[in-house]
A and B are shown apart, each in its own frame.
Chain A
């Protein structure tokens, strides 16, 4: 029978019950969803990295590694497997602005791929194993033939397998590209045997060219070249192109560095997977998710629980006489407690169950093949993993909600049955703090009424303010994040990049030739290489930008005219040295250590870097070679050259940002929807509570002759005041939360907080709109006030 009562009570308080359910569902859903997101990234990427033997360390040498050197590294105690590895960006022939990163892994136990369809990997095979996403984006099928341009020779092969590789899980051409764009850039694996064939072809061509230049006929030159070619020649070429050794090892980086130095007799640039773009970005995403997961979802969950506290207290108070009746009928306190406590338990269980469903949905929206991350990560398996700590929190939430019910009812059960039977009496009216204001007496009755009502119902006031401020925080945070990102892209697009084409120069290219190419193209150039700064791997960015095509900006996003007197540290390295201090660094692959004065800080777009002019680099005697030329010559008009490994239109690069922006937009949309739902549910619930609590007063006003509209105005005016206060609190709080988030994400990006006027306007309008809508919904109810019924009972 009591169960029937429970159902009917739930029906009679349906607005409150639905509000509590929605808030708990939202709270649990958002909390779980956001936390599942980062955990899923960790779990799924770890599995994928494991399946594809993602390298723990990468050794770089611009001169390449010999087989002997590989053997020496492989024999280091603690190295589980090692391979010579080549990854080179090659233009796709007969296609405009399409390129592939072509990988070769000599030992297929390191840095490999998983086959999605086609033939298994064959180290002697002649085919090409192509990224399935690139194939899909470009209409390529198994059995098709593709040609790649490698230093004026064509590497051609049949697509024999479609694959996914951990090394290219985030498939970007270089650090300037933030989002994969498979229609323009993908990756492929070829076997070491095919590489050998390509190298033989290249050597033969070089010899033929030399013999032809010496006056030999083409056919004779070809025959002669073939007869001259030896295995040693090909091996030597291999030794030069394998500039990378990838290895699997659980060693510490410093120990490995020492061991490598000992084994090879020279300092080699060693980077751990933490420095590799794919692993770093994936873990960065997980960290970002964890940071986000620790703020917004907690806010939702806390508001959900607070809603429960306020609402259950009111319901218990309104049920006081029924509780008294049950008591008078002979029901024991324990049974009554159990009955009313079950409300909290039921809401907790249903809300949590729905929340878990919502959590999986939110996680799926972000972390799935067709979700937001699907355009970023290229993985074969997408699961949904729940962090361990979420289980006790979910159980704890249900327990807390049950406890809230228990405590609310226990308060009403105090005293004898006769006490309980007496109606709930609200707190006695006392003069509020507002009445000390000199102009209080001059206020109209509606204002006084609302002010006193607020001072009488402080918890309702607090909850309303939390709801409105929460709504504002989410809106300002979400839209502000978009502004910040848009500002960042604008900075990148206009202030930093003023070029039309970025021409990538291959490693080991002759420095003077590369500079001559830059001059020929009328462009700026940069040289990016790894250095060790206080034991950490950062990039040394040597820039020559007389033409203003590739620029450096300071913390305030103003272009810097680079000084030849010292180096600039990126903002992430700001705490390493003050301006005027001297920093020491040593390029990888060199024994030399250089020191330079810090003359400023710059906002780095992607990597952690130390920036200097070529003039300073020359003066310090640093060896370098340009790695990219920035020019206004269109990519199609850039003449072919051995040095050039790729060309990227600036527009194309910016295009890759667009998918990043669309992910951001989806996130912002989720936040905006969540903010509006939060606002509507919290305000409606509290509005209804306020209406119910003031029902008798509203009925009295109606009897006295107040029109419905006048009473509605009274109710809405309170909402408007609270919205104004909530907005005043929420605006700076939203900006502060955003600033905190940007600080938390600072290890990944150097973003400058930007909040456009539209963000302020939209946030305020949406919050006011929500508040006004809810106010009107509640105010509409006053038409249904039954004056006769309301005034019958005793106060």
Chain B
């Protein structure tokens, strides 16, 4: 699996998929102005596993939200797959989210009134490139839980369904916000392994936002953020596997 993943990385590594150019996000509250992101610039290559590290309030979630099309920058441009997404309308952003990015959240955000299968199948209504929901669920090993509602699943199972839902859209980029934040370490490892394995199998770019230094050891690229600015962008030639990381 790892060899296969390495090959993938090699194959895609020089194809740029994301470009942040002097991007700023400013929040105003009365006289107080907060620059959540301050003239941030970086690029990401396709097929890489990128970890964005930083303490609380550093701006890493803002960065992820901008990249995910949940929010728009106040300054600068964001280009994804050669397309500028920084000035898109609400509907264009919705289409972008439907076709280009998949989200995995800390608290899963599954629809409680839909079963596991239906939660994954849901995206086929909106994504033009959707994969077969049952296949994806089979790949995450939850074929026995198709008819279970989220409240009938454990945290780890819910997060796996959430990953399946994100991948079912067949997006170019998988965005994960603290994906193991609500899980115990054992389940966290299992989820990360699955996330990486599947994303790499399908050739996806993965961007994980976390404050967990250990996850960063698995990344191809680690972007450190502090006070709304990029402190460093480090390439890791020999990332560790999930099992190799000490939790």
Contact = CB atoms under 8 A, between A and B. Distances in A.
Contact of B113 (A449, A699, A704, A707): A449
A200 B148 CA distance: 104
A793 B125 contact: no
A704 B71 contact: no
A492 to B, nearest CB: 58
Interface stretch (B15-23, B104-112, B189-197, B237-245): B104-112
A444 B150 contact: no
A429 B94 contact: no
B111 A697 contact: yes
A696 interface: yes
A794 B91 CA distance: 27
B107 A704 contact: no
Interface in B204-223: none
B65 A788 contact: yes
A706 B70 contact: no
B127 interface: yes
Interface stretch (B3-11, B45-53, B75-83, B95-103): B95-103
B111 to A, nearest CB: 5
B121 interface: yes
A456 B114 CA distance: 12
Given A793-B107, A795-B107, A703 B70 contact: yes
Interface string B176-193: 000000100000000000
Given A445-B114, A705-B95, A788 B109 contact: no
Interface in A676-711: 696-697, 699-708, 710
B114 A449 contact: yes
A791 B105 CA distance: 8
Interface string B109-142: 1111110001001110111000000000000000
B109 A696 contact: yes
B172 interface: no
B109 A445 contact: no
B68 interface: yes
Interface residues of A, number: 31
A697 B112 contact: yes
Nearest to B109: A700
B112 A705 contact: no
A460 to B, nearest CB: 13
Contacts of B90: 707-708, 783
A705 B123 CA distance: 8
Interface string A384-400: 00000000000000000
B126 A705 contact: yes
A795 B105 CA distance: 12
Contacts of A703: 68, 70, 97, 103, 109
A706 B126 contact: yes
A231 interface: no
Given A703-B70, A705-B98, A707-B91, A429 B109 contact: no
Contacts of B99: 705
Give chain A's interface secondary structure class.
Answer: helix
A426 B65 CA distance: 28
Contacts of B111: 449, 697, 700-701
B94 A706 contact: yes
A706 B127 CA distance: 9
A448 B114 contact: yes
A752 interface: no
For chain B, the bracket of interface size reads 35 or more
B122 A445 contact: yes
B127 to A, nearest CB: 7
A203 interface: no
B169 A788 contact: no
B149 interface: yes
A700 B113 CA distance: 13
A787 interface: yes
B112 A704 contact: no
Nearest to B105: A791
B113 A705 contact: no
Contact of B182 (A430, A705, A794): A794
A691 to B, nearest CB: 15
Nearest to A790: B109
B232 interface: no
B127 A456 contact: no
A448 B169 CA distance: 20
B236 interface: no
Nearest to A696: B109
A708 B149 CA distance: 25
Nearest to B101: A705
A428 interface: yes
B74 to A, nearest CB: 15
Contacts of B152: 428-429
B208 to A, nearest CB: 16
Contacts of B56: none
Interface string A702-726: 1111111010000000000000000
A696 B108 CA distance: 11
Given A445-B121, A704-B98, A705-B98, A452 B103 contact: no
B143 interface: no
Contacts of B182: 794
Contacts of B97: 702-705
Contacts of A708: 90-91, 94
B94 A452 contact: no
Contacts of B125: 444-445
B151 interface: yes
Given A697-B112, A791-B109, A795-B107, A704 B151 contact: no
B109 A452 contact: no
A426 to B, nearest CB: 7
A787 B71 CA distance: 9
Contacts of A430: 149
A453 interface: yes
A610 to B, nearest CB: 67
Which of A430, A703, A705, A795 has most chain B Cβ within 10 Å? A705
A791 B68 CA distance: 13
A428 B151 contact: yes
Given A429-B112, A704-B122, A791-B105, 6 more contacts: A428-B149, A448-B114, A700-B111, A703-B70, A704-B123, A795-B112
10 contacts: A428-B152, A448-B114, A449-B114, A701-B111, A703-B68, A704-B123, A707-B94, A787-B65, A788-B71, A793-B107
Please list the 3 inter-chain residue pairs (A to B) with the smallest Cβ-Cβ separation, ordered nearest first.
A705-B98, A452-B113, A705-B97
